[in-house]
Amino acid sequence: MYVPPALLVIAHGSRDPRHAATVTALCARARALRPGLRVEVAFLDFNAPDVPRALERLAADGVREVVALPLLLTRAFHAKTDIPAVLREAGARLPGLTVRQADVLGPSPLLTAALERRLYEAGLRPGDRRSTGVVLASAGSSDPEAIAVIAEIAREWRRTTGWCAVRPAFASASLPRTADAVRALRADGAARVAVAPYVIAPGFLPDRIARGAEEAGAEVLADVLGSAPEVARLLVRRYEQAAGRAVRALAA
């Protein structure tokens, strides 16, 4: 009988306890969407278990296949280099375990839907779209591909949903910063400015986004994506895509 691979969600980790709590809540929601699926969490830094220890535990429990899903919104250094290296090194010590890396979460219409959910939860209404400019506030990256993806998400979000403007901003590594994007929207005539953090969990950089929104006088600050239902559904979708590729490879 075919046993589906376990899902190992790989989060960045943070000294902020809200980070791990949010990741745990998201994984619990994903687990509820797929009863019977084993869903575990590992962290690259700061929190336990780390990736090698989590894989060792799965192997010790008799698991033979794992889908490792980076809890990331763009393909940058962690997805391209860091996580593959960790998985290769751990896999070399566990020859009975097959590990496949799933795609990162973004971009996806489900993430845009989660952003919209958070904005409405923060007090906006559909009728506010034409007078509200939105700052899509990402953690930031030095990877040009990741920066280009954020800019494209902002353009597509504006095109498909009718906000008067959507501008990208970054908490680190790239410009503009959140406060600068808020001021630019105001200068362009937006009657109201909302900041939508394009991040999964609380921590140092999301707090920097919040400070920038406050500093520049944004009227609305949405919550992080967290355990929004759309994010949980996307997590399961990425798992199923990776698991499906594994099944097709076996049948070929």
pLDDT at residue 248, as a whole number: 47
The 3-class secondary structure across 212-224, one letter per residue, is: HHHHHCCCEECCC
pLDDT at residue 3, as a whole number: 83
pLDDT tens-digit readout, 186-202: 999 999 999 999 999 99
Residue 250 banded pLDDT, cuts 50, 70, 90:
very low
Tokens representing residue 199 in the block:
């991040």
Residue 246 banded pLDDT, cuts 50, 70, 90:
low
- Residues 6 or more apart from 164 whose CB is under 8 A from it? 129, 130, 131, 132, 133, 190
Task: Determine the average pLDDT of the residues in 164-180.
Answer: 97
Higher pLDDT, 22 or 1: 22
pLDDT tens-digit readout, 3-52: 899 999 999 999 999 999 999 999 999 999 999 999 999 999 999 999 99
Q: Which residues of 159-189 are buried (b: 16+ CB within 10 A; e: fewer)?
A: eeeebbbbbbbbbeebebbbbbbbbbbbeee
Q: What is the pTM of this model?
A: 0.94
Q: What percent of the chain has pLDDT over 70?
A: 96
Q: What is the mean pLDDT of the chain?
A: 94
Domain annotation for the chain: domains and CATH numbers: 6-105+228-251 (3.40.50.1400), 123-221 (3.40.50.1400)
